Structure 1
Amino acid sequence: MLAEFLDRVVDNLSFWAIVGFGGQAIFASRFIVQWIHAERVRRSEIPLAFWYISLFGGVTLLVYAVHRADLVFIIGQVSGLVVYVRNLHLIYRERRRLAAEIT
């Protein structure tokens, strides 16, 4: 039974499956980045890299979802991308405001 399952998995590996797995790996790695950052600063906060990794992983998974024509997956990824882009916008807006206060 396990051998049959593994044979089916191997038979289904394709370029698009690799894209999907790659996107999932990128997306999941953001939590490792956040954990390492929190340990370094000794408090829970979300580093800028978390949002970029989220964005890159989300775009990769969106491309995969579009290829699969999976509307549920597409809507889930698009809604996440809105959040990631908005957070990056807020971060850079705050940085510009702080820079303007210094000068």
Structure 2
Amino acid sequence: MNTEWIWVCVGFAGQTLFSARFIVQWLASERVRRSVVPVAFWFFSLGGGTTLLAYAIYRHDPVFIAGQGAGLVIYARNLMLIRSERQHSKPSDDNQTL
């Protein structure tokens, strides 16, 4: 297998991860019977976007690089917001009674 085929496989792997996020979102929404965006959606977005960005850089495709690069910022920011929200919603040790 030559380098070109390896990169094609990387590209397909990234596209698979990126597409899987919609399946994760759909299944989570069906489970609760309303539209939701689970945390896993953002992790699949980040993983797929990173892999696709690597592929785009290998292909020297500036349009694909710009699109995936911008998306990664959004996915990472959403994960940061989720993490911050979870940290602030935890009861602090000072407010707990024994």
The two structures share one fold, judged by TM-score above 0.5: yes
How far has the Cα of 1:85 moved from its partner? 0.3
* Paired AA for residue 42 in structure 2: W
1:16-40 deviation digits (Å, cap 9, x = unpaired): 1111011001100100000000000
Aligned length: 91
Residue number in structure 2 paired with 1:96: 87
Is structure 2 residue 47 aligned with structure 1 residue 43? no
Residue number in structure 2 paired with 1:7: none
* Paired AA for residue 47 in structure 2: F
Structure 1 portions without partners, runs of 5+:
1-12
Scaled by the length of structure 2, the TM-score of the pair is: 0.88
Scaled by the length of structure 1, the TM-score of the pair is: 0.84
Identity %: 55
Residue number in structure 1 paired with 2:58: 67
Residue number in structure 1 paired with 2:8: 17
* Paired AA for residue 82 in structure 2: I
Structure 2 portions without partners, runs of 5+:
none
Q: CA RMSD in A?
A: 1.4
Report the secondary structure of 1:54's partner residue. Answer: helix
* Paired AA for residue 66 in structure 1: I
Separation in structure 1 between the aligned mates of residue 89 and residue 61 of structure 2, nearest angstrom: 42
